Amino acid sequence: MRSCSIYQNMIQEPMNASNQFDGDEDIFSHELGNIEDYSVSTRLGRGKYSNVFRGRQKNGELCVVKVLKPVRIGKIMREITILEALKNGPNISQLREVVRDEDTGSIALILSWAENENIRSVFNRLTTNDIAIYIYRVLQALEYAHAHNIMHRDVKPGNIMFDPDTKEVSLIDWGLAEFYSPGLEYQVRVATRHYKGPELLLNYTKYDTSLDIWCLGVTLATLLFRKIPFFRGHDNDEQIVKLASVLGAADIYSYCDKYSLSLPTKVASEISGCQRKSWSNWINKNNKDVVTNEALHLLDKMLIIDHELRPTAKELLGHPFFNNVRDQ
């Protein structure tokens, strides 16, 4: 077990405390926990903005230690503020406290621990009931977040912790999350390409919380058809083509017309003539036991091209697909 004091060696990008937080020291002065209360071991993940480790408190309790890379203070404070707003929300990773290494200037978020098994390794074990629980509990998390005007903006299997034994679910990594206010423009360079909604792919900046519904819809398709990722484009333009090859081009054209969006000439040419396909094209001997009519109906509701027409998380929680798991 390694001490938190070696964060600098782990991330190799120490924050310059004198520059990074110049004028902002008071923001953390009353909130910081004691870094010596934690130790870290296994690296769980590495991203553009952070490195994530398995950690342990002095009392032996497991936790997640998210060491933030050097970024502007506003981004750090936004993530902390969002996590604080989501405190006690269902199936959401919980912020325990914020700590800082005075030697390196590194800021770390101490988050609740959640057991997880890689989704690829459990594909063949998931039942229809398991998938319903998985999606239902993420929808509960999103309903809570959206009620607090927060968009996650990176929903995908990699950010959903799932314990196949206990069926516990936790939506993690709120680093790209943002507060939503109607009419404001937002950065479209968010989410992971294979899960991006058409609004992002077509550079529509006034999107809203319905983006998360699309991303979860793609996740549902991934689980039902055991195909990860379900839409695999090598860039944003090809991703649009992949959407059209399944959902048809007509709704994409209508979407562009409605919101005055430009469809790249090459993309328009490639998707011309694309018709919507039946989900039966993706049902095979490996997944036919988990795909139900209710599941496909839910998928249709979530993967609607026009974001304004997608149901809310609250509405989707009442879908018949969840009738057998609602009280579990």
Mean pLDDT of the chain: 91
Residue 232 clears pLDDT 70, i.e. is over it? yes
- What dihedral do alpha carbons 136, 160, 99, 97 form, nearest 10°? 10
- Gyration radius of the chain over CA positions: 21
Confidence (pLDDT) at 70: 84
Confidence (pLDDT) at 29: 45
Q: What share of the chain is helix, strand, coil (3-state, %, to 5)?
A: 40, 15, 40
Residue 67 near residue 10 (C-beta atoms within 8 A): yes
Which residue among 22, 130, 154, 208 is the active-site one?
154
Rounded to whole angstroms, how far apart are CA atoms 158 and 227? Answer: 14
Confidence (pLDDT) at 31: 66
To the query of whether residue 208 is one of the catalytic residues in this protein, the response is no
What average pLDDT does this structure show over 140-148? 99
Confidence (pLDDT) at 223: 98
Residue 191 near residue 209 (C-beta atoms within 8 A): no
Q: Report DSSP letters for 160-211, one per residue.
A: EEE-TTT--EEE---TT-EE--TT----SS-S-GGG--HHHHTT--S--THH
Binding site, annotated residues:
75
Q: Which residue has the higher pLDDT, 38 or 29?
A: 38
Residue 156 near residue 219 (C-beta atoms within 8 A): yes
Residue 199 clears pLDDT 60, i.e. is over it? yes
pLDDT tens by residue, 101-124? 877 778 999 999 999 988 888 888
Binding site, annotated residues for ATP:
75
Q: Which of 33-37, 233-237, 321-325 has the lowest mean pLDDT?
A: 33-37
What average pLDDT does this structure show over 222-247? 98
What average pLDDT does this structure show over 161-165? 95
* Domains by residue range for the chain, with CATH: 30-112 (3.30.200.20), 119-327 (1.10.510.10)
Confidence (pLDDT) at 23: 39
Rounded to whole angstroms, how far apart are CA atoms 174 and 186? Answer: 16
**pTM of the model as a whole:** 0.91
